[in-house]
């Protein structure tokens, strides 16, 4: 502790040590965040290509042949072997490299020391290593688009034998191997980050900051770090075994007697279901790694702009803890029709509906926070309300999917695509935006433009619903995921107008993000200067200057006297009491005049 304290006043002077190979958690957080935004751009463009294809599967797009001659034939028709590459890499990049990275590695790094009252992370050098490991992972993933056969094409779930046998699909050649290597770098980076987060939250809280005075954002970061540390090892084992199946002659996942293109494969005795268990043992906690931080942001931001304590802080904490534990017991609901024993399916159905209880409690608590509040509709508040809205809309379809018999009909259809884009991707994406507008002043010392922010919110919110809500209907009709041309089926031909509507909305959704990019860049240089506490909020990051200096506080570390949600306390002059104001210094109404 003493050691950290002495170090803090000396910020490194050289550009390289200060902005590139920095060990300052704020710089690292912003590095993660900006890298994730770049990956979002790539993954978003892949989604646009998917939507062009699904809405107009047989319409030539010669202009696309000019831009992407590898992907489109000279007539402007997409080559069918490359379509799987698009959805595989869209999913992989979005889930891991964007929506895990920006909220957890980005904002988690930036916020944990600032909100718990620490000078930096427990292991600053490990933190720097973690970012550069992630960076290599990004490069490997991006490079995979340019190898023979293209990028991985077996879906973000990489089910073997498709992912294990290079003969089975063009993208299962070097693309799949690079996918595995990229994932290993990602997992290594996420593990370093997780160790750092858990240690920092447990050991470096300032005086008075008990666990039950932590902002809910920190509770979420703490729990998702533990989730990551416990669940990613299963995937690590899985991808290494997959690598061995592909290159070193093992047969963990490939059974005997597999014949590809009339050639008998030499593998013997593996189990494709083993991979699915390993993958989803990570895959389901991973969903909560995306969602819990967004729920933390929503709780904190709603409380600030409702000028009201979050309803039932303890229930919120327990809901996060219960969700975290249960998230390890529901993975099999991805496998109801996989051939797994139906008895196992029953157990997973029970746990899946059980996890809906703490999720519902969170929604009720947000609504109760809004009741008799004084709501200020700033851009971060709008995005936080958007999280609540999407969480309700996407969460309720989970009650359909968790019932195993209903899953028989809608599994692997667009119903599932609608569900997880609304709840997991939607909540995480809106969480990133809410957090960006809210903490931008602390990151860059300036405010983002509110008018552009609101325009960005409304275009994003409306087009997000228009893009993903109608997918429920495609799915109920039976339209499968991951198909290159839905019009092959007579059953789905009448659905094309809906597919076109979805694609138009998706293009608008993509275009609306240009407003955000412009606002972000413009505000860094020209935004209104922010004071230390522009939102009149209670948490500790607002007790230091904007942007926070190296070491976070120029003087001694703040001391904490209360929880983070003391808004509109009766008898107090201001409608907020920062966590570090001593009880004797709180101005009462009488003292005002």
The nearer residue to other proteins, 122 or 404, going by C-beta atoms, is: 404
What is the rounded distance in angstroms from the CA atom of residue 192 to the CA atom of residue 130? Answer: 6
> Could you say whether residue 490 binds other proteins (CB under 8 A)?
yes
Among residues 149, 270, 332, 551, which is the contact residue for other proteins, using CB under 8 A? Answer: 270
Question: What is the per-residue binding string for other proteins in 97-136, x denoting contact by CB under 8 A?
Answer: ----------------------------------------
* Angstrom distance (rounded) from CA 382 to CA 376: 9
- Which one of 11-19, 216-224, 242-250, 309-317 is the stretch in contact with other proteins (CB under 8 A)? 309-317
Rule CB under 8 A: choose which of 124, 170, 194, 578 binds other proteins: 170
DSSP state of 192: H
Among 405, 555, 556, 583, binds other proteins (CB under 8 A): 405
Structure-token pair, residue 430: 């809106």
CB 134 within 8 A of CB 32: yes
> Counting contacts by CB under 8 A, is residue 488 touching other proteins?
yes
In whole angstroms, give the CA distance from residue 241 to residue 164.
10
Taking CB under 8 A as the criterion, the residue among 230, 322, 329, 360 binding other proteins is 360
- All residues at 6 or more sequence positions from 366 whose CB lies less than 8 Å from its CB, including other chains: 298, 299, 302, 311, 388
454 binds other proteins (CB under 8 A): yes
The b/e string for 123-137 (b: 16+ C-beta within 10 A; e otherwise) is bbeebbbbbebbeeb
Q: Is 64 in the site for other proteins (CB under 8 A)?
A: no
Stretch of 13-21, 163-171, 213-221, 424-432 contacting other proteins, by CB under 8 A: 163-171
Q: Could you tell me the smallest distance in angstroms from the CB atom of residue 503 to other proteins?
A: 17
Of the candidates 450, 455, 448, the residue with the CA atom closest to the CA atom of residue 526: 448
In the complex, the smallest distance separating the C-beta of residue 91 from other proteins, rounded to whole angstroms, is 11
Residue numbers 3-32 binding other proteins by CB under 8 A: none
CB of 537 to other proteins, least distance (A): 14
Among 202, 264, 511, 582, binds other proteins (CB under 8 A): 264
∠ CA 548-549-554, nearest 5°, is 105
Number of chain positions touching other proteins (CB under 8 A): 112
Contact call for residues 49 and 150 (beta carbons, < 8 A): no
Among residues 76, 233, 309, 510, which is the contact residue for other proteins, using CB under 8 A? 309
Residue 314 sits in the site that holds other proteins (CB under 8 A) = yes
CA distances from 109 to 57, 70, 339, 436 (A): 43, 39, 41, 14
Is residue 344 involved in binding other proteins (CB under 8 A)? no
Tell me how far apart the alpha carbons of residues 306 and 16 are, in angstroms, rounded to a whole number. 42
Nearer to other proteins, 262 or 585 (CB): 262
Using the minimum distance from each CB to other proteins, give the nearer residue, 84 or 106. Answer: 84
Residues 6+ apart with CB under 8 A from 461: 382, 386, 389
Compare residues 296 and 345 and give the one whose CB is closer to other proteins. 345
Q: Does 375 bind other proteins (CB under 8 A)?
A: yes
Residue 40 vs 164, nearer CB to other proteins: 164
249 binds other proteins (CB under 8 A): no
**Closer to other proteins at the Cβ: 305 or 553?**
305
Q: Which is nearer to other proteins, 59 or 203 (CB)?
A: 59
| Pick 31 or 378: Cβ nearer other proteins | 378
C-alpha distances in Å from residue 99, one per residue of 90, 93, 300, 345, 549: 12, 8, 19, 29, 28
Taking residue 342's Cβ as centre, other Cβ atoms within 10 Å add up to 10
For the bound state, the minimum distance from the C-beta of residue 245 to other proteins, rounded and expressed in Å, comes to 13
Strand partners, 480: 413
Rounded-to-integer distance, Cα 427 and Cα 291, Å: 6
Using CA atoms, how far apart are residues 110 and 125, in angstroms rounded to an integer?
Answer: 15
């Amino acid at each position: 502790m003493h050691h950290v304290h002495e170090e803090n006043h000396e910020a490194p002077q050289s550009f390289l040590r200060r902005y590139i190979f920095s060990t300052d958690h704020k710089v690292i957080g912003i590095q993660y965040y900006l890298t994730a935004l770049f990956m979002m751009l790539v993954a978003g463009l892949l989604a646009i290509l998917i939507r062009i294809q699904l809405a107009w599967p047989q319409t030539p797009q010669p202009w696309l042949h000019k831009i992407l001659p590898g992907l489109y034939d000279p007539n402007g028709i997409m080559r069918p072997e490359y379509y799987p590459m698009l959805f595989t890499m869209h999913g992989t990049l979005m889930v891991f490299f964007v929506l895990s990275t920006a909220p957890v590695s980005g904002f988690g790094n930036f916020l944990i020391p600032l909100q718990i009252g620490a000078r930096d992370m427990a292991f600053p050098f490990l933190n720097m290593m973690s970012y550069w490991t992630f960076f290599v992972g990004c490069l490997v993933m991006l490079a995979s688009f340019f190898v023979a056969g293209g990028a991985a094409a077996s879906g973000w779930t990489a089910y073997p034998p498709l992912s294990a046998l290079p003969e089975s699909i063009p993208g299962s050649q070097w693309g799949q191997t690079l996918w595995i290597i990229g994932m290993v770098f990602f997992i290594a980076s996420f593990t370093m980050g997780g160790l750092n987060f858990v240690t920092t939250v447990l050991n470096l809280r300032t005086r008075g900051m008990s666990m039950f005075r932590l902002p809910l954002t920190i509770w979420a970061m703490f729990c998702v770090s533990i989730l990551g540390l416990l669940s990613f090892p299963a995937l690590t084992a899985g991808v290494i075994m997959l690598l061995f199946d592909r290159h070193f002659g093992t047969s963990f996942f490939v059974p005997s007697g597999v014949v590809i293109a009339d050639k008998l494969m030499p593998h013997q005795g593996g189990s494709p279901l083993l991979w699915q268990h390993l993958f989803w043992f990570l895959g389901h906690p991973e969903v909560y790694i995306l969602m819990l931080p967004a729920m933390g942001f929503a709780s904190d931001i709603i409380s600030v702009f409702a000028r009201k304590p979050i309803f039932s802080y303890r229930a919120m904490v327990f809901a996060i803890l219960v969700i975290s534990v249960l998230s390890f017991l529901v993975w099999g609901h991805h496998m109801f029709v996989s051939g797994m024993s139906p008895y196992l399916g029953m157990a997973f159905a029970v746990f899946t509906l059980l996890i809906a209880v703490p999720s519902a409690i969170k929604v009720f608590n947000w609504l109760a926070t809004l009741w008799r509040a004084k709501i200020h509709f700033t851009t971060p508040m709008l995005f936080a309300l958007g999280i609540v809205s999407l969480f309700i809309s996407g969460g309720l379809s989970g009650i359909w999917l968790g019932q195993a018999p209903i899953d028989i009909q809608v599994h692997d259809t667009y119903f599932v695509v609608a569900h997880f884009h609304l709840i997991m991707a939607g909540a995480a994406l809106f969480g990133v935006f809410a957090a960006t507008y809210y903490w931008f002043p602390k990151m860059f010392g300036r405010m983002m433009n509110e008018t552009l922010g609101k325009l960005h919110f409304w275009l994003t919110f409306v087009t997000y619903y228009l893009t993903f809500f109608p997918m429920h209907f495609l799915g109920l009709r039976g339209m499968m995921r991951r198909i290159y041309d839905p019009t092959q089926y007579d059953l789905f031909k009448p659905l094309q107008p809906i597919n076109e509507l979805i694609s138009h909305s998706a293009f608008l959704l993509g275009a609306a993000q240009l407003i955000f990019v412009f606002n972000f860049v413009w505000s860094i240089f020209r935004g209104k200067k922010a004071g230390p506490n522009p939102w009149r909020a209670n948490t500790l990051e607002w007790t230091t200057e904007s942007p926070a200096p190296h070491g976070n506080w120029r003087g001694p570390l703040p001391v904490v006297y209360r929880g983070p949600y003391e808004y509109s306390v009766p008898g107090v002059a201001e409608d907020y009491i920062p966590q570090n104001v001593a009880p004797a210094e709180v101005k009462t109404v009488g003292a005002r005049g």
